[in-house]
Amino acid sequence: MGRRQWLNALRSPVGAVAAALLSLLAVLAVVAPIIWGDAADETNPAALSQGPSSEYLLGTDGLGRDIALRVLVATRTSLGLALASTAIAVSIGLVLGVLPAVLGRRAGRLAVAFVNLAVAFPALLLALFFAVIFGIGAKGAVLAIGIAGAPAFGRLVQTNIAAVAGRDYVSAARIAGVGRLRLIFRHLLPNVGEPLVVNAALMAGGALLAFAGLSFLGLGVQAPAYDWGRLLGEGLDRIYLNAAASLAPGVAVVVAGLAFTLFGESIAKVVGLRTEPARAGAGKMPAVPGAVDEDTGDAVLVAKGLRVGFSSASGSTYPVDGVDLTVHRGETVGIVGESGSGKSLTALAVARLAPETATVSADRLEFSGTSLLGRSDPEVGKLLGTSLAMVFQDPMTSFNPSMRIGWQLAEVTRIHEGAARREGFARAVDRLGKVRIPSPERRARQYPHEYSGGMRQRAMVGMGLMSSPKLIIADEPTTALDVTVQRQVLRLLREVQEETGAAVVLISHDIAVVSQMCERIVVMYAGRVVEELPVSRLSAAAHPYTRALLGAVPDMTSDREQPLVTISGRPPDPGARPPGCAFAPRCELADDACRRLPALAPVSAGQRAACWHPQLSSLEPAGGTSAGGKA
C-alpha cells in the first residue's frame, strides 16, 4: 500500500475519524499512566462509592478511587493487551497460513484441514477454553485470545496465498529456482499483505472486546491491575448507585473497538481488497510431439510419451496424453491448437511447473541432455533456472508487483551464480537495455505497474536473458497486447534468438502468428500431437484438423462479404474423448477406420500426421473450405 493510498484512507470521513480516535488513544496510552497513574490508585476513605461530582467527574469506586482517572489510565493496559493478543494471533495465523505452501501436498492438506476444523469453533469459546488452560490472569488471557484468533487469520492467509500462488511471477520464481521460504516471504506474502493488514486491524478491535469480556468475567486482568473490562465489572456491581462507573469503561471499550474496526474498514475501502482474477493457464512451454525426426542428437528438449493427468472422484483424465516433443538447438517451433488442447500443460510439465494436483509421467523427458524424470535435486533446478526462459501470456501477472523490476531480474543471477546484489542489478540494467527498455538504469528501479504491457513482456524476455538460455518458451506471449506491440514482442523474440542461438517454442492458438515466426509447427488436438510439419509445407498440411485451422485464417484474397470460416463442433473434454481419432466427430472424412487411434506417421520429408486419411493435395487459398473445416 503506497503513501497515496494511506493518505486517501485518512482523507475519507470514516478514516479521518478512526485515525483521530486511534491517535488520541495512543497518546492516552502513553501519557495517562505517567500523569495520572498515582492519582488513580489513591484511595480516599472520605469519599467511598460516590456519584459524579465536580471533584470526581465519574464518581469514586468502593475504595474511594477516582473512576475517571482509572478509565484514562486503563487505556495503556487495555490497548497493550489487545495488541499483544492480536500479534500472537497474527504470528500463529501466518505460520498456519503458509504451512500448506511449505509442506508437501499431503502434509499441506492436513494443515488446511486443521485450520478448517479450528475455524469451525466459535472464537470466544476457544478463548474461554484456553483462558482456563493457561490460567486466570492477563498473561493467560492474552495467550487465550491470541490462539483463539489464529485459525481465522490462518485461513485468510491460506486463501490469499492460494489466490496468488498460480500467478506467472510465482511460476517464474519457481522456474528460476527460488527456494520455498524465499518464495513465500518475497513473492507470496508481500502480495497478500494488504488484506492481512486490514484484517489485523479489525482483529485488534475484536481482541479489545474479547479482552474486556474476559476481564469482566474475572478471567483476565487481576487486581490490583485493571483494564476497562475489569473496571466495567466493578462498576456494574453498583450500576444503580452510579451508572457512570460502568458506562465509562464500557464506552471506552466500544469507542476503541470502533476505532480499530473503522480504521481497518477505511483501509479496506481504499485498497479495494481486490481479488485479482487468478490467471488461468499460467502459460509457458514447449511441446513438440514426436514427429519428424527421431534424431535427438542436438536436441535441447526431448519429451516422449508425456502424459499429464488429474484424478477426481469420477476417475482420471489425461489432458496431455502421450505427447512427443523434440526441440533442436536454435530451432523455432510453434505449437498450435484450440483452447484446451493441452499446449500449456505440456509446456508446464516440461518446465516442471504443472499444478500440484497433476500427475506427470513420460517415457523420456530430457532438457539439455539431462533427464528430468524423478529428479528434484538442486542441480536440475539450476539447469532449468539458468537455461530455460519463460515468457508468460499476461504481462500484468508476470512480475511480482511488490518488487522492483531490476531486482526481480537480478534474483536469478543471485540464486544460481551467487552474484552480489550490485552485480546482479548491473546485469539486469544491461539486459533491460538489450530488450530496448529506454533509460534502463531508471526503469530497473521501477515497479511493474510503472511499465506498459509491451514493456513488461520485453522485460520478461530480458529476464530470460539474465543467464544464457538454451530454450525460450513463450506461451501466447502477445495475446494480451495490442497488434503493434504484438509485432514488437515477436520481433524482439526473433532478434534475441538470433543473438543467443537459443531455441524458441512459441505456443499460440493462432496458426498465422506461428507460421510467421517459426520453422516447424506442431499441431495439438485433444492432448495429442496430430501433425508436425515444416512451415514451408503448411500449404500441404495432411491432417484435416491442420487444414481446418489454416482454412479459418482470412487473408487478402478472402471474400469480406462472406462470414469467416469456422470449424464445426468443439474439442472433446479430456474425460470424454471418443475412442480412436479424437477429431473424427468433427471431420468430414471420418469413417470406420477412424475408430482406431492413428499413430503419428511420416507423410513426407519432415512431416508426420496422425490420420487414417491424410490429405496429399495442396490446400486451396486460405479462406476456402478444408477437409475438416466448415465454411
Ligand X SMILES: Nc1ncnc2c1ncn2[C@@H]1O[C@H](COP(=O)(O)OP(=O)(O)OP(=O)(O)O)[C@@H](O)[C@H]1O
Compare residues 576 and 605 and give the one whose CB is closer to ligand X: 576
CA distance 560 to 256: 69
Based on the shown chain and the rule CB under 6 A, indicate whether residue 479 belongs to the binding site for ligand X: no
Torsions phi, psi for 315 (to 5 deg): 120, -175
Shortest Å distance, C-beta 192 to ligand X: 21
Q: Give yes or no for a contact between 530 and 547, defined as CB atoms under 8 angstroms apart.
A: no
Compare residues 393 and 500 and give the one whose CB is closer to ligand X: 393
CA distance 317 to 300: 29
Based on the shown chain and the rule CB under 6 A, indicate whether residue 213 belongs to the binding site for ligand X: no
Shortest Å distance, C-beta 398 to ligand X: 15
Compare residues 436 and 509 and give the one whose CB is closer to ligand X: 509
Based on the shown chain and the rule CB under 6 A, indicate whether residue 572 belongs to the binding site for ligand X: no
Shortest Å distance, C-beta 522 to ligand X: 12
Shortest Å distance, C-beta 277 to ligand X: 15
Beta-carbon count within 10 A of 108 CB: 16
Q: Which residues of 573-611 are buried (b: 16+ CB within 10 A; e: fewer)?
A: ebeebeebbbbbebbebbeeebeeebebeebeebbbbbb
CA distance 432 to 439: 9
Compare residues 91 and 357 and give the one whose CB is closer to ligand X: 357
Measured from each CB, the residue nearest to ligand X is 319
> If we measure between CA atoms, which residue out of 155, 263, 258, 249 comes closest to residue 206?
258
Stretch that binds ligand X, among 210-218, 297-305, 340-348, 515-523 (CB under 6 A): 340-348
Based on the shown chain and the rule CB under 6 A, indicate whether residue 397 belongs to the binding site for ligand X: no
Residue count, binding to ligand X (CB under 6 A): 15
Contacts for 451 with CB less than 8 Å, ≥ 6 apart: 395, 405, 443, 459
Near ligand X in 92-151, by CB under 6 A? none
Among 290, 574, 623, 629, binds ligand X (CB under 6 A): 574
Among 345, 389, 503, 542, binds ligand X (CB under 6 A): 345
Sign of the CA dihedral 527, 531, 536, 537? negative
Grid coordinates 508437501 are at which residue? 104
Based on the shown chain and the rule CB under 6 A, indicate whether residue 355 belongs to the binding site for ligand X: yes
Stretch that binds ligand X, among 110-118, 128-136, 241-249, 343-351 (CB under 6 A): 343-351
Q: Give yes or no for a contact between 628 and 548, defined as CB atoms under 8 angstroms apart.
A: yes
Contacts for 173 with CB less than 8 Å, ≥ 6 apart: 183, 186, 187, 400, 411
Compare residues 142 and 301 and give the one whose CB is closer to ligand X: 301
Based on the shown chain and the rule CB under 6 A, indicate whether residue 50 belongs to the binding site for ligand X: no
Compare residues 150 and 511 and give the one whose CB is closer to ligand X: 511
Report the relative pairing of strands 299-312 and 364-367 from DSSP bridges: antiparallel
Shortest Å distance, C-beta 354 to ligand X: 8
Annotate each residue in 492-521 with x if it binds ligand X (CB under 6 A) or - if it does not, as one string: -----------------x------------
Compare residues 357 and 536 and give the one whose CB is closer to ligand X: 357
Compare residues 168 and 234 and give the one whose CB is closer to ligand X: 168
Among 344, 467, 500, 626, binds ligand X (CB under 6 A): 344
Compare residues 574 and 623 and give the one whose CB is closer to ligand X: 574
Compare residues 479 and 515 and give the one whose CB is closer to ligand X: 479
Give the DSSP letter of residue 618: P
> Three cell numbers at 630?
466448415
Mapped to the 3 state alphabet, what secondary structure does 273-323 carry? CCCCCCCCCCCCCCCCCCCCCCCCCCEEEEEEEEEEEEEECCEEEEEEEEE
Based on the shown chain and the rule CB under 6 A, indicate whether residue 598 belongs to the binding site for ligand X: no
Annotate each residue in 297-326 with x if it binds ligand X (CB under 6 A) or - if it does not, as one string: -------------x--------x-------
Shortest Å distance, C-beta 496 to ligand X: 23
Based on the shown chain and the rule CB under 6 A, indicate whether residue 343 belongs to the binding site for ligand X: yes
Based on the shown chain and the rule CB under 6 A, indicate whether residue 220 belongs to the binding site for ligand X: no
Shortest Å distance, C-beta 486 to ligand X: 16
> If we measure between CA atoms, which residue out of 123, 127, 125, 160 comes closest to residue 141?
127
CA distance 108 to 230: 42
Among 100, 205, 229, 342, binds ligand X (CB under 6 A): 342
DSSP letter for each residue of 555-599: -TTS-TTSPPPB--S-PPPGGGPPSS-TTGGG-TT--GGGGSPPP
Q: Give yes or no for a contact between 592 and 578, defined as CB atoms under 8 angstroms apart.
A: no
**Where do contacts with ligand X occur on this chain (CB under 6 A)?**
281, 310, 319, 337, 339-345, 355, 357, 509, 574
